[in-house]
Amino acid sequence: MNVLASLAAELAPLEFLPMNGRDLEAIMAIETRVYPFPWSQGNFADSMKAGYACWVAREGGQLLGYMVLMPSLDETHLLNISVAAERQGRGYGARLLRFAMEVSRVGGATSMLLEVRPSNARALALYKNYGFQVIGRRKGYYPATEGREDALVLRRDLGEVAA
């Protein structure tokens, strides 16, 4: 991507809105395209029903990403964060992550926890760029084409959220 396209993507207005049932069809279209083992529509519906912080990101009215955050005392667990396949690599994931961290911080969380596949190099690079550190490993956490894949557990203090 050239520098101007990257800058335009960074400056384009994103609208962050609470997720609702009307979003589920668009969410599932993204989820099933970007993950070999996607969440079900019921997973998203249950997360909203449970009162988790569920957000969508829209640009020009089009849903391009979403996140599900589970607050727990002074920590937030980032359960799902996704960007539409055709929008990846343009800085939207970073913008979603910054928003997730700020929502969590404003909500009283002092840290964020997440799991990521060791094979997901792009996500690992993003998280490390934003100060997340590996604090553990969950054996056989994710389904995989052949057997199971471990998850790396990452954590970040939320103090001041900066790019």
Positions marked active-site: 115, 127
Q: Are 112 and 101 in contact (CB under 8 A)?
A: yes
Beta-bridged to residue 143, according to DSSP, are 148
Residue 137 neighbours by CB under 8 Å, 6+ apart: 150, 151, 152, 153
Q: Which 8-state DSSP code applies to residue 12?
A: S
For 71: left if phi > 0, alpha if psi spans -120 to 50, otherwise beta; the answer is beta
Note whether 48 and 54 are within 8 A (CB).
yes
- Element holding 102 (H helix, E strand): helix 92-106
8 A C-beta contact, residue 39 and residue 75: no
